[in-house]
């Protein structure tokens, strides 16, 4: 383990030890665990590329500060990423790969593989950033937030092939049970997770709000080999609860649900308010799954596209405007450059942002261009387009 102490030495000599921050480079499993345990506000831990084996959960309990986060990052410029391999773990509810119960961490560029439960559990931690990470083949949800976790940002992360041995459980991302409010998923993808892409099921809390921006949920409910598992298979499960009365308010902006074994968007007895703005649905068993039994409170859907059968659209109050099924003309495959959903798994860009795809992007002849309503999102042209992808002209790609 190499530690850059020059900055600290200068601050200490000036009597400003409270400003001391370190850059720590680690290259073994034991060094990673030690560096995390000893990290202080402002420290940056760089992990060299390679595969690191762990047979027990990594605990993160020490917090950073609002202006001095603790960073755990892949080493800049390495040709390979750090992979945390937990395959030596048995499948067990306490065998998360990483358990983060602290505040103000920034974890970036780390891949988590085959944890015995969640790949990463944020339990009670708040205002953390998890960026450009992946959670693969874990025995429960790839990344889960609970225990009052609030105001965390999950940015440009992937979660896929998560499944338990009974082939009935494991979501891509789970913001659920007794989670806090104000968590945001942005630019994330969840695919071929055995249960749901995202699960918002609540227990022991009520009235929380979660936000989803530019997220893609596809082919959930299927195993890595493509066979159907025993899980639910929804893209975005907005909420639900044992009592069938708890409210998980959910806001979806520019999100895509495609090819999921069950619903693209599912209310699952959620009694909260759900908003979909400029979302796209295609190829799900049911594209919209908002039923009349224990319905959501206010269901707002604007500027959204359903390619295929609409599904169920019920709530205590429905506010639906400028959607493809209300356009006065049929939404057809010819409205899009491509309907090949395999493009959704293309590699991310070097900065972690979503890949360029043609899937469900509007063709220049489509009447869905400029057919939307101004809902406060950026757009080009005379009016917003319908769906998750704003048409940028013939030179878009």
Residues designated catalytic: 237
HEC sequence for 286-310:
EEEEECCCCCCCEEEEECCEEECCC
* Interatomic CA distance for residues 345 and 218, integer angstroms: 9
DSSP label at 235? S
* Interatomic CA distance for residues 359 and 336, integer angstroms: 7
CB 284 within 8 A of CB 309: no
Q: Which residues, 6+ apart, have CB-to-CB distance to 380 below 8 Å?
A: 390, 391, 392, 393
Give the ranges where the chain is alpha helix by DSSP (H): 6-13, 29-38
* Interatomic CA distance for residues 64 and 195, integer angstroms: 34
Give the ranges where 333-378 is alpha helix by DSSP (H): none
Partner residues linked to 323 by β-bridges: none
CA dihedral of 159, 160, 166, 167, whole degrees rounded to 10: 130
3-state SS assignment for residue 9: helix
DSSP label at 49? S
β-strands 70-74, 82-85 pairing: unpaired
And the tokens for 251? Answer: 């806001």
Give the ranges where 26-160 is alpha helix by DSSP (H): 29-38
CB 386 within 8 A of CB 353: no
CA dihedral of 279, 281, 285, 286, whole degrees rounded to 10: 50
* Interatomic CA distance for residues 249 and 252, integer angstroms: 10
| CB-based burial label for 297 (10 Å; 0-12, 13-18, 19+) | middle
| CB-based burial label for 29 (10 Å; 0-12, 13-18, 19+) | middle
């Amino acid at each position: 383990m190499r530690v850059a102490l020059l900055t600290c030495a200068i601050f200490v000599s000036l009597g400003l030890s409270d400003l001391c921050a370190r850059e720590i480079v680690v290259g073994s499993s034991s060094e990673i665990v030690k560096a995390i345990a000893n990290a202080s506000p402002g420290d940056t831990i760089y992990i060299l590329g390679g595969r690191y084996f762990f047979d027990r959960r990594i605990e993160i309990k020490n917090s950073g500060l609002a202006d001095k986060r603790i960073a755990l990052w892949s080493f800049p410029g390495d040709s390979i990423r750090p992979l945390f391999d937990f395959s030596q773990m048995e499948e067990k509810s306490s065998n998360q790969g990483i358990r983060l119960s602290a505040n103000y961490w920034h974890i970036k560029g780390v891949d988590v593989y085959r944890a015995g439960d969640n790949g990463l559990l944020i339990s009670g931690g708040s205002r953390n950033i998890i960026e450009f990470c992946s959670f693969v083949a874990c025995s429960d949800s790839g990344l889960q937030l609970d225990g009052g976790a609030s105001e965390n940002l999950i940015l440009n992360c992937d979660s896929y092939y998560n499944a338990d041995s009974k082939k009935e459980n494991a979501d891509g991302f789970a913001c659920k049970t007794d989670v806090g409010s104000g968590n945001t998923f942005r630019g994330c993808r969840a695919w071929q997770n055995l249960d749901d892409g995202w699960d918002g099921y609540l227990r022991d809390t009520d009235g929380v709000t979660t936000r989803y921006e530019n997220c893609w949920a596809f082919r959930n409910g299927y195993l890595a080999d493509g066979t159907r598992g025993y899980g639910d298979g929804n893209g975005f499960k907005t909420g639900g609860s044992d009592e069938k009365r708890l409210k998980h308010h959910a806001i979806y902006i520019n999100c895509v649900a495609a090819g999921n074994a069950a619903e693209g968007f599912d209310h699952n007895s959620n009694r909260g308010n759900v908003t979909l703005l400029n979302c796209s649905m295609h190829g799900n068993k049911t594209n919209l799954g908002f039923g009349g039994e224990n319905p959501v409170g206010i269901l707002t859907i604007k500027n959204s596209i359903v390619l295929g059968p609409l599904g169920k659209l019920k709530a205590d109050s429905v506010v639906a405007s400028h959607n493809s099924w209300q356009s006065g003309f049929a939404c057809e495959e010819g409205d899009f450059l491509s309907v090949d959903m395999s493009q959704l798994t293309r590699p991310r860009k070097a900065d972690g942002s979503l890949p360029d795809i043609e899937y469900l992007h509007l063709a220049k002849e489509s009447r869905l261009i400029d057919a939307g309503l101004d809902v406060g999102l950026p757009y080009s042209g005379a009016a917003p387009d319908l769906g998750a992808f704003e048409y940028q002209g013939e030179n878009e790609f």
